[in-house]
């Protein structure tokens, strides 16, 4: 509809911002200050983009401009309902353009990457075999357990990853439908995976492939046709659009042949009573088949807004700027001998802005808590919903505790979990520079406060006197 709301917010681009200082794309909350346990306040350094990225200011402005016009999607004759329906379907087309979808591909709006991959798992044809590396996020590792699934060992090079998959596909019996699930960029190490080569291997052996692009899409262009993958899944909340939607995009045939992921209004074309008292239903064969219920139009619109912002900013400039931040962090961590950065493919492997590490003599949960309480820096500690991968990288046994807040090793002993720093298009230099400085100071001088475990999290002990670095670092 011609009166569809639109914002004229001026969006900063990678070219218009100083590539060495400012964030290319302004994000909501960039000026938020948080209290320090040692006194005073500081601008919050959000360095946990791999978990959830802040909303782009443009996305928030677009959503706020649309909100007064909200109406039911595909369910109303009124002006606002028609406008909202147009907005929802235009968002679908914007996402298809962002992903380089092929003719005949479908874009299904879901709740998240996890939801997208579970939808695909529910649509697998009978006797489909699934192949997945143990290095995957749980969202990619777990949905296939009701299928015939083969878990592949962690590779240490790109070539090994391709050869491991080729051997597994060649050995499968009987020869029937097969699916490979692979991440584009690790949520633990940030390392890029050889998606194009893995797709070629899958197709050479008659298999299909789905790309978990949750960590890739916010940092690098994702083109379904160019990568030659069959499906792509990602989440809005990692793509600077945290409003409850995700995407599954790709081939339509398996989705059209499967029963709806959820049964209900919107998924059905026709429902009628039978003479015997039962109910017959005819399902849609479009994306609506798997979008039962009133759709999250704000979530879909916010994803489309983020896609446009990233395309307009230009990935070339965004990628180069992020490499600058990665160099700053990696060089800073390398200058601290007690820090060990986790990696599958080695120091020279290409990566996005996600880096995990451990610190000798430090409990990872306490280290992350000190970064927050004493420096205003938000990172993540734990196993990052990728337990097998982190266990492989740390060399721990599968039955050891170590998720966020779990009891950890004493100083000098092997850590049972890790610390992750992650960043993106909304990160200014000052945030990563403060992080590097804080790591060096904590390792050299210890924490300035005491910490304790409360409700599974390490928190400052407000009842204890400050100044006991040894107590802060001990498990």
Catalytic residue among 101, 181, 385, 458: 385
Note whether 164 and 193 are within 8 A (CB). no
| Annotation marks residue 385 as catalytic | yes
Residue from 184, 243, 276, 237 nearest 52 by CA: 237
Structural contact between residues 164 and 331, judged by C-beta atoms closer than 8 angstroms: no
Residue 131 CA to residue 144 CA, distance in Å, equals 9
Helix, strand or coil, per DSSP, at residue 64: helix
User: Could you give the C-alpha distances from 443 to 303, 310, 358, 359, in angstroms and in order?
Assistant: 40, 37, 11, 8
Distance CA 398, CA 402 (A): 10
Instruction: State how far the Cα of 138 lies from the Cα of 114, in Å rounded to an integer.
Output: 8
For residues 449 and 466, what is the distance between their CA atoms, to the nearest angstrom?
4
C-alpha to C-alpha distance for 8 and 16, rounded to whole angstroms: 17
Q: Phi/psi of residue 291, each to 5°? A: -125, 45
Q: Where are the alpha helices (DSSP H) in 100-142?
A: 113-122, 138-141
Q: Which two tokens stand for residue 446?
A: 């210890």
CA angle 385, 390, 395 (to 5 degrees): 150
Sequence-distant (6+) residues with CB within 8 A of 450 are: 460, 461, 464, 465, 466, 468, 471, 472
- Cα–Cα distance, 201 to 354 (Å, whole number): 27
The answer to whether residues 78 and 71 touch, using CB atoms and an 8 Å cutoff, is: yes
Cα angle at 278 between 274 and 281, to 5 degrees? 75
Each as own residue / partner, the long-range contacts of residues 90-94 (CB below 8 Å, 24 or more positions apart, any chain) are 90/4, 90/304, 91/297, 91/300, 91/301, 91/303, 91/304, 92/287, 92/300, 94/304, 94/307, 94/308
Alpha-carbon distances, residue 468 vs 37, 370, 376, 461 (angstroms): 14, 12, 19, 11
Q: Is 279 helix (H, G, I), strand (E, B) or coil?
A: strand
R_g over Cα of the chain: 24
Torsion angle, CA of 382/387/392/393, rounded to 10 degrees?
-30
What 3-state DSSP class applies to 159? Answer: helix
Active site residues: 385
């Amino acid at each position: 509809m011609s009166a569809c709301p639109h914002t004229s917010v001026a969006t900063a681009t990678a070219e218009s911002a100083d590539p060495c200082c400012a964030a290319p794309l302004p994000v909501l909350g960039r000026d938020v200050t948080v209290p320090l346990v040692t006194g005073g306040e500081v601008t919050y350094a959000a360095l946990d983009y791999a978990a959830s990225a802040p909303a782009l200011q443009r996305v928030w402005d677009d959503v706020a401009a649309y909100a007064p016009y909200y109406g039911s999607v595909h369910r109303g004759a009124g002006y606002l309902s028609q406008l909202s329906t147009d907005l929802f379907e235009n968002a679908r087309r914007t996402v298809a353009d962002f992903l380089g979808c092929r003719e005949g591909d479908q874009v299904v709006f879901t709740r998240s990457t996890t939801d997208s991959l579970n939808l695909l798992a529910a649509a697998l044809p009978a006797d489909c075999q699934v192949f997945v590396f143990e290095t995957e996020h749980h969202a990619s590792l777990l949905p296939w357990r009701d299928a015939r699934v083969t878990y592949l060992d962690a590779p240490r090079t790109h070539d090994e990853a391709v050869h491991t998959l080729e051997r597994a596909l060649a050995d499968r019996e009987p020869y029937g439908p097969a699916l490979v699930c692979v991440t584009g960029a690790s949520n633990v190490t940030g390392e890029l995976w050889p998606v194009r080569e893995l797709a070629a291997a899958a197709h050479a052996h008659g298999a299909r492939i789905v790309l978990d692009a949750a960590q890739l899409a916010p940092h690098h262009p994702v083109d379904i046709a160019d990568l030659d993958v069959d499906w792509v899944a990602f989440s809005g909340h990692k793509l600077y659009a945290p409003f409850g939607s995700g995407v599954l995009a790709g081939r339509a045939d398996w989705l059209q042949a499967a029963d709806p992921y959820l049964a209900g209004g919107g998924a059905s074309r026709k429902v009628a009573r039978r003479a015997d008292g039962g109910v017959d239903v005819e399902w849609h064969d479009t994306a609506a088949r798997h979008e039962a219920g009133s759709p999250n139009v704000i979530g879909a619109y916010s994803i489309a807004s983020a896609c446009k912002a990233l395309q307009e900013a230009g990935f070339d400039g965004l990628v180069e700027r992020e490499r600058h931040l990665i160099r700053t962090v990696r060089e800073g961590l390398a200058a601290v001998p007690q820090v060990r950065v986790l990696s599958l493919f080695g120091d020279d492997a290409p990566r996005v802005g996600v880096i995990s590490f451990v610190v000798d003599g430090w409990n990872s949960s306490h280290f992350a808590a000190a970064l927050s309480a004493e420096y205003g820096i938000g990172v993540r500690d734990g196993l990052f919903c990728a337990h097998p991968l982190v266990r492989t990288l740390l060399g721990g046994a599968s039955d050891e505790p170590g998720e966020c807040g779990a009891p950890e090793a004493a100083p000098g002993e092997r850590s049972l979990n890790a610390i992750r720093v992650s960043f993106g298009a909304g990160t200014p230099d000052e945030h990563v520079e403060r992080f590097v400085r804080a790591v060096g100071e904590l390792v050299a001088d210890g924490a300035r406060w005491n910490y304790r475990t409360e409700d599974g999290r390490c928190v400052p002990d407000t009842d204890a006197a400050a100044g006991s670095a040894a107590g802060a670092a001990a498990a």
